Structure 1
């Protein structure tokens, strides 16, 4: 089993949302297993909601839209 993050869950979330892409209102992606391991899915969901963002999971990847713009399926 891989080692756990040396960061606390709060620091891990702060680090994630301090990324340039997140600060710019872009899209970021993380593996679901990393979110579950380092933070826990419920704490992650709460933080995403607190920030007014949306997150979607597909094939073990979580895509986080770091803005409140509409999301349209195009395909």
Structure 2
């Protein structure tokens, strides 16, 4: 994963997450649930996942997003 800037906006974080090669190819992406809570909040995260028609599971402190419909 690329180094994040010292200050990242929620919008920028979402763009970076869903523009990852794995997401674009219909694979999976994962992020620490603590990072989601700290950077954008779970409500926004779940909204963005649902808006794209993807599914997400949480396991062992990680969110795994399945980037296919």
State whether TM-score is above 0.5: yes
Q: CA deviation at 1:38?
A: 0.6
The DSSP-based 3-state class of the residue aligned with 2:26 is: coil
When normalised by structure 1's length, the TM-score is 0.82
Q: Which blocks of at least 5 consecutive residues in structure 2 are unaligned?
A: none
How many correspondences in the alignment? Answer: 65
Structure 1 gap segments, 5+ residues each: 69-75
Structure 1 stretches of at least 4 aligned residues deviating more than 3 Å after TM superposition: none
Structure 1 Cα separation of the partners of residues 59 and 45 of structure 2: 16
Question: In the alignment, what sits opposite 1:52?
Answer: 53
Instruction: Mark the structure with the bigger radius of gyration.
Output: 1
